[in-house]
Amino acid sequence: MSTKIRVLIAKPGLDGHDRGAKVLARTLRDAGMEVIYTGIRRTPEEIVEAAIQEDVDLIGLSILSGAHKKLCKKILNLLKEKEADIPVTLGGIIPEEDIPELKEMGIIEIFTPGTSLKEIVEKVKDIAMGRKV
Protein backbone atom coordinates (compact mmCIF):
# COMPACT_ATOMS: atom_id res chain seq x y z
CA MET A 1 0.00 0.00 0.00
CA SER A 2 1.39 3.36 -1.03
CA THR A 3 1.55 6.03 1.65
CA LYS A 4 1.64 8.88 -0.86
CA ILE A 5 -1.26 11.19 -0.10
CA ARG A 6 -3.61 11.84 -3.04
CA VAL A 7 -5.55 15.11 -2.95
CA LEU A 8 -8.17 16.45 -5.36
CA ILE A 9 -8.34 20.25 -5.51
CA ALA A 10 -11.58 21.49 -7.05
CA LYS A 11 -13.27 24.79 -7.93
CA PRO A 12 -17.01 24.10 -7.96
CA GLY A 13 -19.67 26.37 -9.38
CA LEU A 14 -19.19 29.53 -11.38
CA ASP A 15 -16.17 30.78 -9.45
CA GLY A 16 -13.41 31.53 -11.94
CA HIS A 17 -10.71 32.79 -9.58
CA ASP A 18 -8.24 29.95 -9.29
CA ARG A 19 -4.92 31.51 -8.31
CA GLY A 20 -5.20 30.36 -4.68
CA ALA A 21 -6.18 26.84 -5.71
CA LYS A 22 -3.20 26.63 -8.06
CA VAL A 23 -0.81 27.92 -5.38
CA LEU A 24 -2.19 25.37 -2.92
CA ALA A 25 -1.96 22.53 -5.46
CA ARG A 26 1.68 23.39 -6.11
CA THR A 27 2.41 23.66 -2.38
CA LEU A 28 0.85 20.27 -1.63
CA ARG A 29 2.77 18.73 -4.53
CA ASP A 30 6.02 20.24 -3.25
CA ALA A 31 5.20 18.70 0.15
CA GLY A 32 5.25 15.24 -1.47
CA MET A 33 1.56 14.74 -2.21
CA GLU A 34 0.00 13.70 -5.48
CA VAL A 35 -2.42 16.45 -6.50
CA ILE A 36 -5.21 16.30 -9.03
CA TYR A 37 -6.51 19.75 -9.97
CA THR A 38 -9.89 19.72 -11.69
CA GLY A 39 -9.79 23.25 -13.04
CA ILE A 40 -12.50 25.87 -12.68
CA ARG A 41 -16.28 25.71 -12.95
CA ARG A 42 -16.76 22.03 -12.13
CA THR A 43 -20.10 20.60 -11.12
CA PRO A 44 -20.48 18.73 -7.84
CA GLU A 45 -21.08 15.57 -9.88
CA GLU A 46 -17.81 16.02 -11.80
CA ILE A 47 -15.89 16.61 -8.58
CA VAL A 48 -17.28 13.54 -6.81
CA GLU A 49 -16.78 11.33 -9.87
CA ALA A 50 -13.16 12.50 -10.25
CA ALA A 51 -12.47 11.93 -6.54
CA ILE A 52 -13.80 8.38 -6.72
CA GLN A 53 -12.03 7.56 -10.01
CA GLU A 54 -8.74 8.98 -8.75
CA ASP A 55 -9.08 7.19 -5.38
CA VAL A 56 -8.11 10.34 -3.47
CA ASP A 57 -7.58 10.59 0.27
CA LEU A 58 -9.07 14.07 0.52
CA ILE A 59 -11.05 16.62 -1.48
CA GLY A 60 -10.07 20.26 -1.12
CA LEU A 61 -12.70 22.70 -2.33
CA SER A 62 -11.90 26.32 -3.11
CA ILE A 63 -14.94 28.59 -3.23
CA LEU A 64 -14.94 32.37 -3.45
CA SER A 65 -18.38 32.86 -5.02
CA GLY A 66 -20.51 32.86 -1.87
CA ALA A 67 -22.27 29.61 -2.86
CA HIS A 68 -20.25 27.52 -0.40
CA LYS A 69 -23.17 26.16 1.65
CA LYS A 70 -25.17 24.97 -1.35
CA LEU A 71 -22.16 23.50 -3.18
CA CYS A 72 -20.71 21.77 -0.12
CA LYS A 73 -24.06 20.25 0.77
CA LYS A 74 -24.48 18.88 -2.76
CA ILE A 75 -20.94 17.43 -2.85
CA LEU A 76 -21.28 15.84 0.60
CA ASN A 77 -24.68 14.35 -0.34
CA LEU A 78 -23.25 12.90 -3.57
CA LEU A 79 -20.34 11.35 -1.67
CA LYS A 80 -22.80 9.79 0.76
CA GLU A 81 -25.00 8.49 -2.08
CA LYS A 82 -21.94 6.90 -3.71
CA GLU A 83 -20.82 5.50 -0.33
CA ALA A 84 -17.48 7.28 -0.78
CA ASP A 85 -15.86 8.02 2.56
CA ILE A 86 -13.62 10.89 1.44
CA PRO A 87 -13.00 13.82 3.80
CA VAL A 88 -13.70 17.27 2.39
CA THR A 89 -11.95 20.52 3.29
CA LEU A 90 -12.94 24.00 2.20
CA GLY A 91 -10.97 27.14 1.58
CA GLY A 92 -11.98 30.59 0.47
CA ILE A 93 -13.94 33.61 1.55
CA ILE A 94 -16.14 31.93 4.15
CA PRO A 95 -18.09 34.12 6.59
CA GLU A 96 -17.31 33.24 10.21
CA GLU A 97 -21.02 32.68 10.92
CA ASP A 98 -21.22 29.95 8.22
CA ILE A 99 -18.39 27.83 9.63
CA PRO A 100 -20.39 25.95 12.32
CA GLU A 101 -23.08 24.97 9.79
CA LEU A 102 -20.47 23.80 7.28
CA LYS A 103 -18.70 21.69 9.90
CA GLU A 104 -22.01 20.21 11.06
CA MET A 105 -22.74 19.40 7.41
CA GLY A 106 -19.52 17.35 7.29
CA ILE A 107 -16.76 19.67 6.08
CA ILE A 108 -13.79 18.42 8.11
CA GLU A 109 -11.69 21.61 8.01
CA ILE A 110 -12.17 25.17 6.78
CA PHE A 111 -9.30 27.43 5.74
CA THR A 112 -10.02 31.14 5.59
CA PRO A 113 -7.82 33.95 4.23
CA GLY A 114 -4.66 34.31 6.27
CA THR A 115 -4.22 30.60 6.97
CA SER A 116 -0.58 29.79 6.28
CA LEU A 117 0.31 27.28 3.60
CA LYS A 118 2.38 25.41 6.20
CA GLU A 119 -0.71 25.01 8.42
CA ILE A 120 -2.79 23.79 5.47
CA VAL A 121 -0.12 21.23 4.51
CA GLU A 122 0.08 19.90 8.07
CA LYS A 123 -3.71 19.62 8.47
CA VAL A 124 -4.11 17.94 5.08
CA LYS A 125 -1.41 15.43 6.04
CA ASP A 126 -3.08 14.75 9.41
CA ILE A 127 -6.52 14.26 7.85
CA ALA A 128 -5.30 12.10 4.97
CA MET A 129 -2.97 9.96 7.08
CA GLY A 130 -5.77 9.39 9.58
CA ARG A 131 -7.72 7.93 6.68
CA LYS A 132 -4.82 5.70 5.56
CA VAL A 133 -4.39 4.02 8.96
Over residues 3-47, the pLDDT tens digits come to 799 999 999 988 888 999 999 999 999 999 999 999 999 999 999
Helices (H) and strands (E) in the chain, counts: 5, 5
Reported confidence tier of residue 1, pLDDT bands at 50, 70, 90:
very low
d(CA 63, CA 16): 9
Domain that holds residue 43: 6-131
Tell whether 1 is covered by a domain.
no
DSSP letter assigned to residue 7:
E
Tell whether 60 is covered by a domain.
yes
pLDDT digits (tens, 9 = 90+) for 104-115: 999 999 999 999
Q: Domains in the chain: how many in total?
A: 1
- Model pTM score: 0.94
Tell whether 55 is covered by a domain.
yes
CATH number at residue 65: 3.40.50.280
